[in-house]
Structure 1
Amino acid sequence: MTTNLEPVQTFKILIIGDSGVGKSSLMTRFVHGVFHAPYNATIGVDFQIAIVNSGEFKCRLQIWDTAGQERFRSITNSYYRGADGIIIVYDVTDSETFVHLKDRFLEIQQFCDSDVPKILVGNKDDDNNQQNKSVLSDDAREFAEKHNLLFFEISVKNSKNVAEVFNAIARLALKRRLEQSGSMPSNIDVKRIQKNKSVDNSANRKCCNT
């Protein structure tokens, strides 16, 4: 592939969602490979960096963990500008965090370009939480399809699908940049993203039927 892009690309990735859904834990689990619970609420924003390889490119992810509390909304809204990807998190055991996703999308529509890639993530999909699960996988999947989102159910506690989420958002952000630069994204494994999505959805359906 011929491209005028540098082999190291930097992307601004936002993690958004209500307070308590596990945004900080998600970032820390991916960047440092550890899990801390309970986690203190983020004040304003937190920021960490991770490297993801995608084809011939190294994707340098600037991961921004935004506060979920309403009183910080005016601060965190400014961080939407210039975002290259957004990870939208809800808690599968708390239906209110899923209901509030519509408010998050209003913010995204107001402050972000429409083509910024977005991934929907249901956290706390732990084995011991199945009986407490209040957001059905089918409902979340329907929401994701309506808004043209990739969808993952994850467990930050046991690391289920955590790396897959960040690998997917990196590939999507890189694909968008290559398209904007006029380069053909032939080495970006978009089919693999779709395959992973299908596998995850199949697993989710099995989960819901148990």
Structure 2
Amino acid sequence: MDSSSNQAEFDYLFKLLMIGDSGVGKSSLLLSFTSDTFEDLSPTIAGQERFRTLTSSYYRGAQGIIMVYDVTRRETFTNLSDVWAKEIGLYSTNQDCIKMLVGNKVDKENERVVTRKEGINFARECGCLFIECSAKTRVNVQQCFEELVLKILDTPALLADGSKGVKKNIFEENPSQSDTSTSSCC
């Protein structure tokens, strides 16, 4: 029996990277997108210094980078420019890599401290796509991933590495900074 018949068919296979402080909802966004469910997840490998040595391999070859912050915690927004954007500059190997800025937890509108306008302005400065969403209510979650992939598909230089038959990691989540909060993701 041909074992390849058990493998999922795909036209493109892209490596996407999610980065951002611990607790902003990276894992929950992914879970919400892939399974239509929401859970209060325990922190993944967040804040563990021993994982920082893996940084360059996380970025290598990524066609898309999703930069996530929590609209109710300003430090998670400022850390994107102070820490994470610098990391992208250092480690990203694809100069045409598509970046998307994502403001998560808009379901907590009454606790919001980062305005939509601030998000739009930062995205414009760093040449990112921008969207606000909620992993909890699933508002804009589908659109977040779809818009990123459509932009990658519209970038010829990125398609060579994502063509049919190339075996790559579809998704990786970068360990969060060691000096950030380890509150649960949601």
Alpha-carbon RMSD across the aligned residues, in angstroms, is 1.9
**TM-score by structure 2 length?**
0.75
* Partner residue, 1:119: 100
Aligned to 1:207: none
Aligned with residue 106 of structure 1, among 86, 93, 114: 86
Q: Which residue of 2 aligns with 1:22?
A: 25
Match in the other structure for 1:42: 44
Distance apart, 1:21 and its partner CA: 0.1
Shift of 1:140: 1.1
1:177-188 alignment runs, 5 A limit: 177=156
Paired-residue identity, %: 42
- TM superposition shift of 1:170: 0.9
- Among 134, 137, 157, the residue aligned to 2:136: 157
In the alignment, residue 41 of structure 1 is paired with which amino acid? P
Q: Distance in 2 between matches of 1:73 and 1:164?
A: 30
Q: Partner of 1:143 in structure 2?
A: 122
TM-score for the superposition, normalised by structure 1: 0.66
The residue number in structure 2 matching 1:94 is: 73
Is 2:152–2:158's contact at 8 Å kept on the other side of the alignment?
no
Instruction: State the shift of 1:180 in Å.
Output: 6.0
Displacement of 1:174 in angstroms is 1.7
Q: Structure 1 pair 179/119, CA: closer, same or farther in 2 (3 Å)? A: closer
Shift of 1:76: 3.6
Alpha-carbon separation, structure 1, partners of 2:48 and 2:118: 25
Q: Is the contact made by 2:152 and 2:159 (CA closer than 8 Å) also made in structure 1?
A: no
Bigger relative CO (Cα 8 Å, ≥ 6 apart)? 2
Structure 1 residues 179 and 95: CA distance shift in structure 2, 3 A: closer
Give unmatched runs, 5+ long, in structure 1. 1-6, 44-66, 182-210
CA contact (8 A) 2:135 2:141 kept: yes
Deviations, residues 46-70 of structure 1 (Å, cap 9, x unaligned): xxxxxxxxxxxxxxxxxxxxx4x26
State how far apart, in whole Å, the 2-side matches of 1:124 and 1:116 are.
25
- Aligned residue for 1:156, secondary structure, equals coil
Work out the CA distance in 2 between the residues paired with 1:179 and 1:89: 22
Q: How many pairs does the alignment contain?
A: 149
Deviations 1:7-40 (A, max 9, x none): 7111001111000000000001101111001x11
